[in-house]
Amino acid sequence: MTKKLNTKGMLIETASRLFRMRGYDGVGLNDILKESGIPKGSLYHYFPEGKEGLAVEAIRHTKGVVIGFIEEVFERTEDPIKAVQNHICELVEVMRDEKEPVGFPIGAIASEKHSTSEPIRKACHSAFEEWKETYSRKFIRAGYSEKQAEDLGIIILAVIEGGILLSLTAKSDKPLRVIAEQIPMLLAKKSG
């Protein structure tokens, strides 16, 4: 049983990494099989829907990894605005790591497949919603109203996702660094 879980997990991890870097259309099943070293029969055993089913699981996996990353940073910093700044600064450091290049977590897949694959669209939507809720919960715990916290969650998600895209296309961390510096100006003070 452990071997089966390891095989399935290896396929999901490999697909997740490749989709982050190249998007859905830039990755073929042969790329995933070659990179993972898993035989084709195993892929269809675990993912009878093929690439689409594997992509949905890869998105779910990425969603969990990103939530863990956010929560780890948020646990160390009480002030929500400072926590968001720290989160973005740590994201900049992760993007600088040349050993494991970071791509767009799910944005590339979302932009490619939102109108052609309902399962992938739903998985991407779920990931974005849970990331937004993770940001919002930090503000609720700090005493912000539910509405303000939800609005700020949307703003933070949009700014970070856009900052990642700008940083990747510029091949520079400057967009994310500027966003981190400007977060106190972008995020409203707690309404009372």
Report pLDDT digits (tens) over 9-40.
Answer: 999 999 998 998 888 999 999 999 999 999 99
- Residue 188: per-residue pLDDT: 62
Do the Cβ atoms of 16 and 33 come closer than 8 Å? no
What is the rounded distance in angstroms from the CA atom of residue 182 to the CA atom of residue 79? 16
Mean pLDDT of the chain: 90
Phi then psi for 116, rounded to 5 degrees?
-120, -10
Tokens of 64: 């969990």
- CATH architecture under which domain 52-186 falls: Orthogonal Bundle (1.10)
DSSP labels, the chain? -HHHHHHHHHHHHHHHHHHHHHTTTT--HHHHHHHHT--HHHHHHH-TTTHHHHHHHHHHHHHHHHHHHHHHHHHH--SHHHHHHHHHHHHHHHHH-SSS----SSHHHHHHHTTT-HHHHHHHHHHHHHHHHHHHHHHHHTT--HHHHHHHHHHHHHHHHHHHHHHHHHTSSHHHHHHHHHHHHHSPPPP-
149-166 pLDDT, tens digit each: 999 999 999 999 999 989
- Residue 1: per-residue pLDDT: 44
Q: How many residues are given for the chain?
A: 192
Output the tens digit of pLDDT for each of the chain's 192 residues. Answer: 445 558 999 999 999 989 988 889 999 999 999 999 999 999 999 999 999 999 999 999 999 999 999 999 999 999 999 999 999 999 998 887 766 656 667 888 898 999 999 999 999 999 999 999 999 999 999 999 999 999 999 999 999 999 998 988 898 999 999 999 999 998 866 655
